[in-house]
Amino acid sequence: MTYNVNRQKREVGTEVQLPLRKLLILTILWSLSNSVSAHLFKQQVEQDIKHYSQQQNWLNYDAEVLIWLPNKANHLPACKDTVQYQRTTPNNAPIGRVNYLISCTQPSWKVRAHAKVKIGLEVWHAKTDINPNQILKKQHIQLQRGVISRHTQRFITSSQQLVNQRAKRRIRSGKIILPSQLQQRLLVERKDEVIIRAGSGGFVVSMKGKALQNGQLGDKIYIKNLSSGKKIQAKIIASGVVETLF
């Protein structure tokens, strides 16, 4: 009988304690999800990085994230609504120092925090020394892993953005190639002989001319008509070909 009584007591105790444990766990989980925690803040930063990486078509990246929360974040009342995490400069890449405003509406409070983010990513580097005005080809570039630590640091992940571009200045071998170092290839250079196409409706006339200026696709430059000797303005439509209306 003693055994049975004790067993009944344990069973009764178990039936009472189990819901209490569940309630305690749920209370803790609710409290964590409705307060400012380093873990949830880091998750939000990583989510923002992932979203940005998908927009930019990053492949095989890794992120190092260090977060900072002020001391008062530990003493804020639990949020009865969803805690909001907002980047203060959402148009910038989430790289380098990324500032956040963390807020709640019930009760109303706000706190500022930030994360320091470094991205490891395969970006295009110079495989050889590249000289000013040199046209880039595939043999001049190579993919290498680089570390990006500033949101202002521009980089290139697609070879299509590089091939047939012209270097503005010298790029040393092994260095990351930056968009600011490149410009479109010149399709017409000063003193080049070009084909001038002039037309109206379905009628087109071609004649020879000499370029008086450098130009890229779509640029309007001055051309000397070799037949008439006149200087005209024409639009570059292809390599060595310009178009004007008459």
Both tokens of residue 100? 């956040």
pLDDT the model gives residue 162: 84
Give yes or no for a contact between 216 and 183, defined as CB atoms under 8 angstroms apart: yes
Give all domains of the chain, ordered by start, each with its CATH number: 36-185 (3.90.1210.10), 193-245 (2.30.30.760)
> pLDDT grade, residue 19 (50/70/90)?
low
CA 124/CA 121 separation, integer angstroms: 10
Nearest to 163 by CA among 144, 142, 188: 142
14: left (phi over 0), alpha (psi -120 to 50) or beta: alpha
Query: DSSP character for 130?
Result: B
The pTM (predicted TM-score) of the whole model is 0.60
pLDDT the model gives residue 187: 86
* b (16+ CB within 10 A) / e for 168-186: eeebeeeebbeeebbeeeb
Top pLDDT among 155 and 181 is at: 181
Task: Measure CA of the first residue to CA of the last residue in the chain; give whole Å.
Answer: 115
Q: Answer yes or no: is pLDDT of 185 > 80.
A: no
What percentage of the chain reaches a pLDDT higher than 90?
Answer: 47
Q: Answer yes or no: is pLDDT of 37 > 90.
A: no
What digits encode the pLDDT tens for the residues 50-82?
Answer: 999 999 888 889 999 999 999 988 889 989 888
List for the chain the helix, strand, coil content (%; round to 5).
25, 40, 35
Query: DSSP character for 4?
Result: H
**Cβ neighbours for 168, distance < 8 A, ≥ 6 positions apart:** 132, 180, 181, 182, 183
Give yes or no for a contact between 191 and 221, defined as CB atoms under 8 angstroms apart: no
3-state secondary structure of 177: coil
| 193-200 and 241-245 beta bridge pairing | parallel
Region 39-45: mean pLDDT is 94
